[in-house]
A and B are shown apart, each in its own frame.
Chain A
């Protein structure tokens, strides 16, 4: 099973990468952009989708400071 895990900084925790991107965009003429947050994307093949949540809890994300979202992808 192909899966995708989206990992985001938790709401309310300062996200310096998001701030840096947000401040860079107006310099390119993209005005009015707000609430930019930068996270991580992990794509993987797993034999059993039930493994994904413990994987996220133990390694892929740090649940103290990050939220994760698991998406199961259809076989292409």
Chain B
């Protein structure tokens, strides 16, 4: 199975996402100006500052040629993972609910975080539940962003909770950006599009940062696809 990793002008985590994806499958970069997803089985919208974050983070990237294809791919049920700026792009594209606003602490913050896996029954988290070390309940993954405060109106938040669309929450004491209901990652109603602010692709090797907990997210996607392709 093959991951397609989008590359916008201003992306900076595309190389790490590509390297992480290659630990669980094939992967190649997809340039923002192209419409062809090159037969990718899953898409990763990586972190960075697409189009300089001009206007609002993700606002311009959302209308790029490659995103037109990604939106169709998602509507057809394809797996799409948005990380950090990628999460912002997916919200702007209305593939995911809500919006990501400036951090409540008013700072660009980079730190290792503890996350709670709230819904282990998604194509993005099933393998996490089999991790022996944490029993899949807690993941140690870094975040680095200035605009990661998840916001949605109360009715939407209630729906997300009721439908199991809240996939990850910041563990107590870890919600530095002020996200409502401690939400770190959400999926769509159909469970095939998932966005999160922390960076699983930066937590794939214990030599670098002390945690490989991020691998279970990519591993879950690979397993879901191999099951589907088999």
Residues of A at the B interface (CB closer than 8 Å) are 9, 13-14, 16-17, 19-20, 40, 59-60, 62, 64-65
Q: Compute how far the CA of A43 lies from the CA of B117 in the bound complex, rounded to whole angstroms.
A: 45
- Give which listed residue, A14, A59, A62, A64, contacts B104 with CB less than 8 A: A14
Please, could you name 26 A-B residue pairs with CB atoms under 8 Å apart, sorted by A?
A: A9-B101, A13-B101, A13-B151, A14-B149, A16-B101, A16-B103, A16-B104, A16-B105, A16-B106, A17-B106, A19-B106, A20-B106, A59-B59, A59-B60, A59-B63, A62-B56, A62-B59, A62-B92, A62-B99, A64-B98, A64-B99, A64-B151, A64-B152, A64-B153, A65-B99, A65-B101
Residue of A nearest to B56 (CB): A62
B151-199 residues with Cβ-Cβ distance < 8 A to A are 151-153, 178
Set of chain A residues within 8 Å of B151, measured between Cβ atoms: 13, 64-65
Whole-angstrom distance between the Cβ of B153 and the nearest chain A Cβ = 8
Whole-angstrom distance between the Cβ of B64 and the nearest chain A Cβ = 13
- Give which listed residue, B55, B98, B152, B178, contacts A59 with CB less than 8 A: B55
Set of chain A residues within 8 Å of B98, measured between Cβ atoms: 64
Q: Which of A16, A20, A40, A65 has the most CB of B within 10 A?
A: A16
Whole-angstrom distance between the Cβ of B196 and the nearest chain A Cβ = 19
Q: Which of A19, A20, A64 has the most CB of B within 10 A?
A: A64
Set of chain A residues within 8 Å of B63, measured between Cβ atoms: 59
Set of chain A residues within 8 Å of B25, measured between Cβ atoms: none
Set of chain B residues within 8 Å of A19, measured between Cβ atoms: 106
**Number of chain B residues close to chain A: CB under 8 A:** 19
B101–A17 contact, CB under 8 A?
A: no
B55–A17 contact, CB under 8 A?
A: no
B35-68 residues with Cβ-Cβ distance < 8 A to A are 55-56, 59-60, 63
Set of chain B residues within 8 Å of A62, measured between Cβ atoms: 56, 59, 92, 99
Q: Compute how far the CA of A9 lies from the CA of B47 in the bound complex, rounded to whole angstroms.
A: 24
- Give which listed residue, B55, B99, B149, contacts A60 with CB less than 8 A: B55
B71-109 residues with Cβ-Cβ distance < 8 A to A are 92, 98-99, 101-106
A16–B102 contact, CB under 8 A?
A: yes
Q: Compute how far the CA of A40 lies from the CA of B102 in the bound complex, rounded to whole angstroms.
A: 14
Set of chain A residues within 8 Å of B102, measured between Cβ atoms: 16-17
